[in-house]
Amino acid sequence: MKRWCLTIAAVGCAPVAAFANDWGMGDSNSKIPPSGVFNAVSTPAHEINTVAFFVISITAVIFLIVAGLLSYSIVRFRTRPGDDDREPPQVYGSNPIEFAWTTVPVLIVFVLFLITARTIYTVQAATRPAGAISVHVIAHQWWWEFRYPALGVVTANELHVPLSDPKNPTPTFLDLESADVAHSFWVPRLAGKTDVIPNRENSMWIDPHVAGTYLGQCGEYCGTEHALMLLRVIVEPRADFDKWVAAQKQPPDVDASVVYGRQVFESTACVNCHTIQGTSANGRFGPDLTHLMARETIGSGAAMNTPDDLKVWVTDPNVIKPGALMPAMNLGDKDLDDLVAYLATLH
Binding to another protein in span 98-157, by CB under 8 A: 98, 101-102, 105-106, 109, 112-113, 116-117, 119-121, 123-125, 141
Among 1, 5, 11, 74, binds another protein (CB under 8 A): 74
Interface with another protein: number of residues (CB under 8 A): 100
**Residue placing its CB nearer to another protein in the complex, 38 or 169:** 38
Residue 235: CB atoms within 10 A of its CB come to 26
CB of 305 to another protein, least distance (A): 15
Rounded CA separation 73/43 (Å): 45
Burial grade of 288 (CB within 10 A; 0-12, 13-18, 19 or more):
buried
Among 192, 245, 294, 316, binds another protein (CB under 8 A): 192
Binding of another protein by 330 (CB under 8 A): no
Among 81, 89, 96, 332, binds another protein (CB under 8 A): 89
Binding of another protein by 218 (CB under 8 A): yes
Residue range at the interface with another protein (CB under 8 A); choices 37-45, 249-257, 282-290, 327-335: 37-45
CB of 267 to another protein, least distance (A): 28
State how far the alpha carbon of 81 is from the alpha carbons of 37, 71, 73, 333, in Å: 51, 20, 17, 83
Rounded CA separation 77/74 (Å): 6
Binding of another protein by 92 (CB under 8 A): yes
List the alpha helices (DSSP H) in 125-249: 238-249
CB of 18 to another protein, least distance (A): 9
Burial grade of 135 (CB within 10 A; 0-12, 13-18, 19 or more):
buried
CB of 217 to another protein, least distance (A): 6
Binding of another protein by 210 (CB under 8 A): no
**Residue placing its CB nearer to another protein in the complex, 231 or 340:** 231
Among 181, 273, 293, 319, binds another protein (CB under 8 A): 181
Burial 147-157 (b: 16+ CB within 10 A, else e): bbeebebbbbb
Contacts (CB under 8 A) with another protein, residues 40-59: 45, 47-48, 51-52, 55-56, 58-59
**Residue placing its CB nearer to another protein in the complex, 21 or 250:** 21
Rounded CA separation 220/226 (Å): 8
Dihedral sign from CA coordinates of 226, 190, 58, 72: positive
Residue range at the interface with another protein (CB under 8 A); choices 77-85, 144-152, 239-247, 304-312: 77-85
Burial 189-224 (b: 16+ CB within 10 A, else e): bbbbbbbbbeeeebebbbbbeeeebbbbbbbbebee
CB of 258 to another protein, least distance (A): 31
CB of 176 to another protein, least distance (A): 8
Residue range at the interface with another protein (CB under 8 A); choices 24-32, 128-136, 205-213, 259-267: 24-32
Residue range at the interface with another protein (CB under 8 A); choices 11-19, 143-151, 161-169, 260-268: 11-19
Measuring CA to CA, which residue among 305, 308, 309 is closest to residue 295?
305
Among 139, 222, 304, 341, binds another protein (CB under 8 A): 222
Backbone angles phi, psi at 173, to 5 degrees: -100, 130
Residue range at the interface with another protein (CB under 8 A); choices 71-79, 145-153, 167-175, 263-271: 71-79
Binding of another protein by 81 (CB under 8 A): no
Contacts (CB under 8 A) with another protein, residues 290-329: 322-323
| Coil, strand or helix at 19 | helix
